[in-house]
Amino acid sequence: MKKLNVGMIGGGFMGKAHALAYAGMPMFFWPAPAIPHRHTIVDVTEELAKDAAAKLGFEHYSTDWREVVNDPNIDIIDIVTPNNTHAEIAIAAAKAGKHVICEKPLALGAEEAKTMLEAVTEAGVKHMVAFNYRRTPAVALAKKYIEEGRIGKILSFRGTYLQDWSADPNSPLSWRFQKKVAGSGALGDIGTHVVDFARYLVGEITDVNAMTKTWIPERPIQTGGVDKLGTVKSTGDVPKGAVDVDDEFITMVKFDNGAIGSIEATRNAWGRNNYLTFEIHGEKGSLAFNYERRDELQVCFSDDPADAKGFRTVYTGPAHPYGEGLWPIPALGIGYGETKIIETYDFFKSIVEDTEASPNFNDGYRVEAIADAILESAEKGEWVSLTKNVVEAK
């Protein structure tokens, strides 16, 4: 069976998730499209890289991502670094003829994303942006219902992503609060997942009208560079640095098929953890999903008998998308790992079968264009049309 060598750039939380996916993918989807081989991992210091290789099961390690990108043994470059480094690595990887999977958001903005899209297109390599939440079987089931017309023409979409890990003003000034590294705040970090849901399930967004807020304008500077996502609290007299990204945004959206909607995200919602939700109303039914209870999809069909109409709680399992490859009984449990395993499966399939991956850098670019439009709209206080923002890539 064919083996594909992976060079992974970055060894943090996302590196762990991707490494598990490389190890697990063939166990779930067999015969696998190809066997992922954890060939080389890159981190910023020799010590970190060596440790990451041992921990995550990579054969080699390096501190020089350019070397790895250009290593002829490598088939795939996997980018799990902070946002501001995505473009340079991805473009270099494309030029070296490597397939590229890149964590989201794809770039610091649409302009940068376009250069990445152009690079992979020109190189003819496969490319994927890692919006893993759409791999959740319940989300894929929603897509299936919609495509089969089971809830009819879609009228409206409501999406939220609520977390609380940065609600405490003493949680540290992670790179996720710095515009130059992250591009944007809650918008890029979590809101783009909702935008991905909206485009995946409903269709292209044409106009946005948004507000943003930065609730906590400065935070304690953390001594190490590590991204602890709010779990480490500062105490005492710690110097603080400015937050220059959004903590929260709300946007209204219009879709090109006539549907309307709203998208909201915040990392300051006490009690919400990974509350990534959507509710979709169609002419013949409704769907509701909450990632915090991700084994479940809620669906209501309008043609159910009058005395037995209501939302069904469908637990995804073997009868649903990806289900044959997962666990034999619904609710044995989809975790974060499984979403990444499915993502890896789909990416490897696109490589081996030479088909377009989805979501790919074009999707990533369009999400960036929408994110840019949201920021522009919030600043100007008016509707911003995407038609002027999205320029087709060469």
Contact flag: residue 254 with a copy of itself (CB under 8 A): yes
Closest CA to 101 of 129, 73, 121, 120: 129
Interface residue with a copy of itself among 67, 318, 355, 356 (CB under 8 A) is: 318
Those residues whose C-beta lies under 8 Å from the C-beta of residue 98, and which sit 6 or more positions away, are 7, 69, 74, 75, 76, 77, 125
Which residues in the 209-238 window bind a copy of itself by CB under 8 A?
209, 211, 213, 215, 228-229, 231
Tokens of 54: 């041992």
Please, what is the minimum distance in Å from the beta carbon of residue 173 to a copy of itself? 17
Which residues in the 293-312 window bind a copy of itself by CB under 8 A?
293-296, 298-302, 304, 306-312
Contact flag: residue 203 with a copy of itself (CB under 8 A): no
Near a copy of itself by CB under 8 A, which window of 59-67, 106-114, 248-256, 357-365? 248-256
How buried is 179 (Cβ within 10 angstroms: 0-12 exposed, 13-18 middle, 19+ buried)? Answer: middle
**Residue number, 168 or 376, with CB nearest to a copy of itself:** 168
Interface residue with a copy of itself among 2, 44, 46, 55 (CB under 8 A) is: 55
**Residue number, 178 or 212, with CB nearest to a copy of itself:** 212
CA Rg value for the chain: 21
Tokens of 337: 């790992």
The SS3 of residue 282 is: strand
**Residue number, 137 or 364, with CB nearest to a copy of itself:** 137
The upper half-sphere exposure of residue 17, i.e. CA atoms within 13 Å in the direction of its Cβ, equals: 21
Those residues whose C-beta lies under 8 Å from the C-beta of residue 66, and which sit 6 or more positions away, are 92
Closest CA to 126 of 351, 318, 363: 351
**Residue number, 35 or 181, with CB nearest to a copy of itself:** 35
Please, what is the minimum distance in Å from the beta carbon of residue 114 to a copy of itself? 28
**Distance from C-alpha of 391 to C-alpha of 393, rounded to nearest angstrom:** 6
Near a copy of itself by CB under 8 A, which window of 11-19, 42-50, 90-98, 236-244? 11-19
Interface residue with a copy of itself among 335, 355, 356, 391 (CB under 8 A) is: 335
Near a copy of itself by CB under 8 A, which window of 64-72, 94-102, 347-355, 379-387? 379-387
